Every structure is written in structure tokens, then in C-alpha cells.
Amino acid sequence: MSNSVELEDANSEVEKFLSELGPKPYSYGDLEKFTFKFSIPIGFGGYGEVYKGQFPGGLHIAVKVLAKKDVVEETFMAEVRTMGKAYHRNLVKLFGYCFERDMKALVYEYMENGSLDNILYDNHGGSIEWERLYGIAIETAKGIDYLHEGWDERIIHYDIKAGNVLLDKNLSPKITDFGLAKLMKRDVSRVPLSRIRGTVGYNAPETWMPSSQVTYKCDVYSFGMMLFEVLGRRRNGEGENWFPQQVWENYKNGQIDKIMKDCGIPEKDNEKAKILSMVALWCSQYTPEIRPSMSDVVLMLQKKIPVGTPPYPFQFRQSLESSVLPPTIEVIPEVTSEVSPTIDERIGETNPSAFSLPVKTGGLLSYISKKLGKFGNKKGSRSHETESVSLSSPYTYQQAASKIENEKGSQFAKTEKIVSSSSPNKSPQAGSKNDLVFFEGTKQFDLEDLLRASAEVMGKGDFGTKYKAVLENGVVVCVQRLKIIQDDQKQEGFEKYLEVLGKLQHNNVVSLKAYYFSKDEKMLVYEYMSKGSLFSLLHGKPGVRPAQVDWTTRLKIAAGVAHGLNYIHHYSLQSPRLSHGNIKSSNILIDPMGNPRLIDFDLSAFVTLPIMSRSNGYRAPETLIEGTHFFHQKSDIYAFGVLLLEMLTGRKPLMSSENGVSENVDLPRWVQSVVREEWTAEVFDLELMRYSDNEEEMIMLLQIGMDCVTSYPDQRPSMDSVVTRIEEIGGE
């Protein structure tokens, strides 16, 4: 009897969990109809059998029936938890599930061409051009990169292999089988592993260690093993020698061409095959910290960044974490150029080159309300008057390679972000007064430190003024002083809104680090982006000519903004869905790596805006109605379309009429007047005319922009669709 009660309790927990997610529930009877009584088996794995089926409308599906094992519920919840929230063109879609006493099943989209391992191993690989396999590798890498970086928590797949990459009718790859997957918070550097996960031959060495702590880099290793199999179109363990070792030996001896010949790579594909083999050697490093991120893997395979010389992969090396860093510092795997918030004298040992941050006189306190009082040095704190702070510049993994020697015991520089770990994370509490409330990781400074920081005005916007603030320890942040919110009811809602924004973590969204609320002052503290805004990049600053922005850079920025906005739109499944509401080029900041980052969400529900600011050239027609302050996702898409037109034409969203009449002409109208019935080069920025070979790609991006700025919200594409279309431009 007690076992029955426990089972019912467990089932109710799972059912509660499922009710909060998007996939549709189906009954056992539904699945019987869809699969014609489970009469067409198409695959079998460790967790159950897969059957082909069909929805009433004709759409083909794959139904995975989980076997009755101890881990069935863990597997079931892992798949639904991850795939129910993840949206990407290179991930298999989860349509629904069945969770009944005698049936645990998952309903996926059907992949016509089966799995990649069938293509590679069953003598079918020769029928597909190797260049197409290279494209499959890139698209698979994009899918894994999305799992690691695409939303607020990382997803560790744990079982990346050719058998878990399915191919649709167009041979586009999609990652499947999330039964082992785990979510990993971004402020956690490692997760414990209670049992071995993955497939022998693919799983990373650290996953075999007792009581091991692993990172998302274990997926990078598995992907590297898969790349070797794509290169050789064979299993790595076939033959007398392990294939990855053969690749290394030939690479080390300068005979990589021999591998190309042995693998039957066409001469025209030799360059790409060499790149793929070197990327595989980087990904398969036994030491996790040396492996690149999947973001870098994508860029290397696309030939957008150099690969660098890989060290010998198949041995463990002494880690920087245990040999160089002080005990109060922890390493978070992430390629970054962000300045360390806590500076220890020994950190300089990791890299002899350095750069300086100027420290200006005059503090942030001089810009804000004097009612906050006077602050002196904290008791016991050490401060020094300096003109600049010297900080170690970060290494990329390519630079690290030059420090790695093949002999045992060599030291190397890491591609990691270094943060203080001296104090635990504190959850923000709405309504906290007279202190900074932090959202992420570790408290880096207090209000007193912030007010003593040197500061300079960066710019003024609808919702307040932004300052660059340099703290005494060298940390640089962006502080936004908000216009006063007098309405107590609005203030309560605003604090709840900030709690949502503070949880957003994405490569293309500026992180809100903290906020401060008192009766007389409201401040937001963001990451500082040193490269300025997209507006300044395109249009210059007073007295400064615009930069010459090439086509590749513009396309990269467009893709990055699209990814960031798509992440925001998918962040919450609850209604109303989250939107940005304030998309414009001045709110797109550029980080040190050249990536665009969204900042400055719409606050008009809490701050009264002047009438003029409502018609800034980016506002969708439906938001210009008097009294409107709610901006939905389709309004974001309109603004994004205007942003694309701005990047392509080099013109500001609102222009003076060219016929001498004193009126403003919005950018979409101007583009329509120039383009009329057919696309023309006249619409593009003069700088882009240098890239005539890319004119077709520019027209494709222009078409996306025009689709986004249609007057009717329901006719605008979704950001999912926009991201897919932009990724297809200039793709391999």
C-alpha cells in the first residue's frame, strides 16, 4: 500500500512539472492511433523503442516509448525539461508526451533521413559529398552552442554522438536524445556527476573519474570525437589504430595530407578537412580547460577566426586552476575579456602583457542626490590613489596554445573568466533599501564603493542618464540613474520587473548586475561595454566620422541582435511573454569581442515619457496610439526590422524630407520609395557598395527587414523565423 502511495506522490510531482511546460499531453489511446498500434518500429535504444506515426493532419512523427526501468522517470523529465524549453533549428522538436501509469512516451518531429551514424558507417557516406558533411558538422555545432549559451541556464547534453544527430529531408542535422541532459546554472562552474554518462568512445575522460565534477566542456569533447568520424566516415575504433591518434601523428609530422588522401577527401575540400581535423584535435583535449567553447568552434569551422596550433590532446595537463590561481579564486569556463572584479597580485602571473584603465577624478556621488550622504573609506579597507590600474589581459584559447608545450608539466594560460568566490550568492529581495541588491554570482562591491567611483556621463535617454563608473579596485560598470518613480504601486511592479531582467543571461544581452532603490534615488548597475553603441559605429559621434563597417561585421551584429531578442522572447512561457520594448541602435552595445549586446528595456509603464520620444522611428504603428505604453513581441520585431534597414542603408530611422518640406520621413517608407517594384543597389550604404560579391546576401537581409516592418502585427515573422533566415545568409 505504501509503495502505491509513494508512486502516486511521485506521479503527481511529475504531472505538476509537466503542467508548467509547453509540450502537449497525449493519452495512450492517442498514441495508439498516431502509430497505428505501434506497428512501425524505426529504432531502439537503451531507454526504449521508437515508432513512426502520423498526426491526423498528415504530419509524420516519431514516438519514443520509454522502457520500464528505474531511470525511466529521470530520463523522461530530463527530455521534457530541456526540449520543452529549447527552440533551435538544429534541435529536434518535442511536440508532446504521454505520462500514464503504463505508458511513458515522448512525441517528436520525424526525421526522414535517420541518424548521422547511418550515413557515416553503413556505406552511405560515400554517396554524400564531403562538403555536405562539413555543413552538417557546422550546423550540429550551432545546436550544441545554443544548448550551452542560448538561454539563462546551460544544458549539458552528455551524449553527443553521430547516433544522436538526426537528418531531415534536406539533410539538415538536429540533435536529439536528451535523456541524460542536465541544466547548469551560469553562476556554477562545475556540476557533480553521480554516475558515468554518455557513450563509450564519445564521453569525455573526466566523466569516468569517481566523484567527478564536470563542466559543459564534456560536450565539446564528444563533438570532437564525432568530428573525427565525419573526417574518416568510419568509427574511431575501427582498424588497428585509434583514428584520432592517427590524425594527431600525421598532423605532428606534417603529413596531414596523407590523412586527407586515406579518407578519400576530394582535393577541393582539403582546406576544410584540415580545419575540421585541427578543430577536432582542440575539442578532444583530455584537459577540459583547454577545449574551446562551442561558440569558437562554430567560428573556426566557418573560417571566421583562425584555428591555431593544437597541443597533443590525449594526456592530462596540470590545470591552471590548481597551479596558478589563489585559493579564493575559482575558474568559470568562458571565453571572455571581462575585467576581474577582484584583483590579486598573483593573477598577473597568468599573462605578462597588460593594459591600463584610466582612473578619473570626480566620483559618481557628484552626479547624484546629495541626500545619500557622505561616505569615507570603509574601516579596514585598503585604497590607493592611482592614475591607472594595470590588469592582465585575457587569453583566447589560440593564444593559450602558444604557451602549451608537449612535454609534461608545462604551464599554460587559460581562456576563462576569473571571479572572486569569497562570499555566497545572495538572492535579490524586492524592496531592499539603502543597499545594492545583486542578481548574479558574488557581491563585488557595496554602495559606498560605487559612490566613490570615478564617473563620466555616457549618454542620456528616455529613462535616465548612464555613467561609466570606475571603482577603486579597477572594476568598470555602467550605472543608469533613473527618473524618479513617485507612484508606490508602480514602484512595487517595477521591482518585480527588475527581478525578471536580473535573471537574463545571454551572450547578446547586457547583464543587469544590481539595482539600488531609495526614496530619492533609483539606480541600475550593468556590465560595462567598452566599444560603445551600434549607433556610434554607424553614424559616428559629434566631431567624429562614422567607422567603416564592413558587410561581415554588419551581418554578425544583425545575427547577434536577433539571437538576443529571440532569447528574450522565449525566456518565459507565461503570459504576457517578455519583450524588450526599446530596440534601437543606441541600445545595442558592442562588447570587446565585437558581439552586440541588448540593453535598456522599456520602462514606460513606470516612467512617464515625453510625447516626442514616442515617435523615434523605431516604434511600431500600434504603439503610437495615445495612452499606449505596452510593447508586445511583434512591436519588437518591427523595431528590429527598422534596425536592419538602418544597418543596410546607413541612414537614421527618422530623416528630414529631401524635397525641402519640413517633415520627417521614416526609414521603412523611404526604403519602399526607393525599392518600389524591384530591389536596387541605390538603397544600400555607400560603404557596402565595396562588397558587390555580397549583394545577394544584402538583398536577403533587406527582405527580412521589410517583412518585419509590415504595418499589421500578425503578418510580421516570429524571431525564431528571423534567426533561421539570417543564419542561412552566407552559411556554409
Using pLDDT thresholds of 50, 70 and 90, give the confidence band for residue 719. Answer: very high
Cβ atoms of 103 and 216 closer than 8 Å: no
For the segment 198-215, what is each residue's pLDDT rounded down to a tens digit? Answer: 787 888 888 776 456 788
**H helix or E strand, kind and range, residue 721:** helix 719-728
More confident residue, 324 or 106: 106
What is the Cα–Cα distance from 326 to 50, expressed in whole angstroms? 51
- Top mean-pLDDT range of 190-194, 251-255, 388-392: 251-255
Are the CB atoms for 133 and 732 separated by under 8 Å? no
Work out the angle at residue 607's Cα, subtended by the Cα atoms of residues 602 and 611, and round it to the nearest 5 degrees: 85
8 Å CB contact between 38 and 51: yes
pLDDT digits (tens, 9 = 90+) for 178-195: 877 777 776 666 766 655
What mean pLDDT comes out for the span 590-594?
Answer: 87
More confident residue, 249 or 386: 249
For residue range 444-486, list pLDDT tens digits in order: 777 888 877 887 888 777 778 888 888 888 888 899 888 765 5
The alpha helices in 179-337, defined as continuous H runs, are: 217-232, 243-252, 256-262, 270-283, 294-301, 320-323
Q: How confident is the model at residue 617 (pLDDT cuts 50, 70, 90)?
A: confident
- Residue 413: band (very low, low, confident or very high) from pLDDT cuts 50, 70, 90: very low
How far apart are alpha carbons 214 and 206 in whole angstroms?
Answer: 7
Q: Residue 305 and residue 303: Cα distance in Å, rounded?
A: 6
Q: Is 563 helix (H, G, I), strand (E, B) or coil?
A: helix
Least confident interval from 116-130, 302-316, 486-500: 486-500
Q: Is 638 helix (H, G, I), strand (E, B) or coil?
A: helix
Residue 29 has pLDDT above 90, yes or no: yes
**b/e map 595-623, b = 16+ CB within 10 Å:** bbbbbbbbbbebbeeeeeebebbbbbebb
Q: Report the C-alpha gap between 347 and 329 in whole angstroms.
A: 10
With 0.85 as the threshold, say if the pTM is over it.
no
CA distance 289 to 221: 11
Q: What is the largest CA-CA distance in the chain?
A: 87
Multiple choice CATH, 329-527, 3.40.50.300, 3.30.200.20, 3.90.550.10, 3.50.50.60: 3.30.200.20
Pick the CATH number of 116-316 from 1.10.510.10, 3.40.50.300, 2.160.20.10, 3.40.50.720: 1.10.510.10
Active-site residue identified among 117, 145, 152, 159: 159
Alpha-carbon distance of 146 to 508, in angstroms, equals: 12
Task: For the chain, state the CA radius of gyration.
Answer: 27
**Cis-peptide into 310, omega within 30 deg:** no
- How would you class 147 by CB atoms within 10 Å of its CB: exposed for 0-12, middle for 13-18, buried for 19 or more? buried
User: What is the average per-residue pLDDT within 164-187?
Assistant: 85
Domains 116-316 and 534-728 share a fold: yes
C-alpha cell at 643: 534596425
CATH T-level assignment (fold) for domain 2-109: Phosphorylase Kinase; domain 1 (3.30.200)
Cα→Cα distances 286→205, 208, 218, 314, 410, Å:
6, 12, 10, 5, 15
Q: Please, what is the end-to-end C-alpha distance for the chain in angstroms?
A: 60
496 is in an annotated binding site: no
Kindly report, residue by residue over 636-694, the tens digit of the pLDDT.
999 999 999 999 999 998 765 554 443 456 898 888 877 765 556 678 988 888 888 88
Beta bridge partners of 664: 656
Which of 121-125, 168-172, 433-437 shows the highest mean pLDDT?
168-172
**pLDDT greater at residue 572 or residue 586:** 586
Which of these ranges, 5-19, 218-232, 662-676, has the smallest mean pLDDT?
5-19
Q: Is 487 a catalytic residue?
A: no
Per the model's pLDDT, the better-predicted residue between 381 and 22 turns out to be 22
Hey, where are the domains in the chain?
Answer: 2-109, 116-316, 329-527, 534-728
**DSSP designation for 227:** H
Q: What is the pLDDT of residue 428?
A: 38
pLDDT-wise least confident of 166-175, 209-218, 492-501: 209-218
What mean pLDDT, rounded, does the chain reach?
74
Lowest mean pLDDT among 204-213, 427-436, 487-496, 675-684: 427-436
3-state secondary structure of 142: helix
Helix axes 695-708, 667-675, angle to 10 degrees: 130
Q: What is the pLDDT of residue 608?
A: 57
CATH number for the 534-728 domain, one of 1.10.510.10, 3.20.20.20, 2.60.110.10, 3.20.20.70? 1.10.510.10
Phi and psi for 156 in degrees, rounded to 5?
-95, 120
**Torsion-angle region of residue 175: left (phi > 0), alpha (psi -120 to 50) or beta?**
beta
